[in-house]
Amino acid sequence: MGCFLTNSSLGRKLVMSISGCFLLLFITFHMAMNLVAIFSADAYNWICEMLGANWYALVGTAVLAGGVLVHFAYAFWLTWQNRKARGNVRYAVTVTEKGVSWASKNMLLLGVIVFLGLAMHLSHFWAKMQLVELMGGHEVVLTDGSVVAPTDGAAIIQYTFSQWYNVVLYLVWFAALWLHLTHGVWSMLQTVGWANDKWYPRLKCLSGIVATLIFGGFAIVVVWFYVQSLCGGCPCCA
């Protein structure tokens, strides 16, 4: 089994699909969690506290980190081997796409942008929340000098997205994620044999819907808190 997952092209694509499905489920959960912050700071902080330095949260973080590393390692491996074997052809698919999308030809580039965005996200949130708790800290000093608790995710998310440059960077990150998912979800499904003349357009449509919902959910939170910061507590936003 181990040889199949590492030595065959189908096995490597299967690993990519399984790890991608796992990461997609987490991203969907994370998007839904962020939306809670719009409606209730207390509810969002309760979730943040539940996902703090608790043993199950730490296990989940380790598994998630492993999934990310496996997905990106196999992405580089597949890209290198495909280029070595077939030149500029990235992925062999069972259905020929009319008008191959830009995303499908640049999945590695999009993946790198997504990875860099993840590193930015970790520095903005994980490093100020779970990591601080693990180190025994009880407060976080933000760049404006304000002090918050590491479990006060609502305050941290509000501060982070009150900075216009963070809003721009996150929206670029989400756009790259959207492009990555529009092809990635379809590629994941076709790897397990669901790609044929009947299902091909349906899977493409499903990929677009999933990617758009995730992009929209994340983007709404960023824009919402930025607008809130511009309003500065005016009556219309109270």
What is the rounded distance in angstroms from the CA atom of residue 34 to the CA atom of residue 218? 7
What CATH number corresponds to the domain at position 66? 1.20.1300.10
Question: Sign of torsion, CA 179 91 113 26?
Answer: positive
Asked if residue 3 belongs to a domain, the reply is: no
Q: Specify which residues 147 forms β-bridges with.
A: 141
What does the pLDDT look like over 75-116, one tens digit per residue? 777 767 766 666 544 444 444 444 446 766 777 788 888 889
Q: Is residue 227 part of a domain?
A: yes
CA distance 51 to 49: 5
* 38 in a structural domain: yes
Please say if the pLDDT value at position 7 is more than 80. Answer: no
Does residue 228 form part of some domain? Answer: yes
Beta strand segments in the chain, E: 140-141, 147-148
Q: Does residue 200 have a pLDDT over 60? A: yes
The predicted-structure confidence for 149-164, as pLDDT tens digits, reads as follows 998 999 999 999 999 9
Between CA 137 and CA 234 the distance in angstroms is: 34
What is the rounded distance in angstroms from the CA atom of residue 183 to the CA atom of residue 90? 12
- What letter would DSSP give residue 141? E
In a domain, 5, yes or no: no
Given a cut of 50, is residue 172 above it in pLDDT? Answer: yes
Residue 159 lies in a domain: yes
Q: Any idea what the Cα angle at residue 223 is, between residues 64 and 120, rounded to 5°?
A: 35
Q: What is the pLDDT of residue 197?
A: 65
* Per-residue pLDDT tens digits for 32-72: 999 999 999 999 999 988 888 888 888 888 888 888 888 77
Q: For all residues of the chain together, what is the average pLDDT?
A: 80
- Any domain includes 27: yes
Residue 16 pLDDT grade (very low, low, confident, very high; cuts 50, 70, 90): confident
> 148 pairs with which residues across the strands?
140
* DSSP 8-state symbol, 53: S
4 occurs within a structural domain:
no
Confidence bin at 8 (pLDDT 50/70/90): low
Give 42: exposed, middle or buried? Use CB within 10 Å, 0-12, 13-18, 19+. exposed
**Which residues form the domain of 175?**
14-237
Which token pair is 216? 């929209």
How many domains in the chain? 1
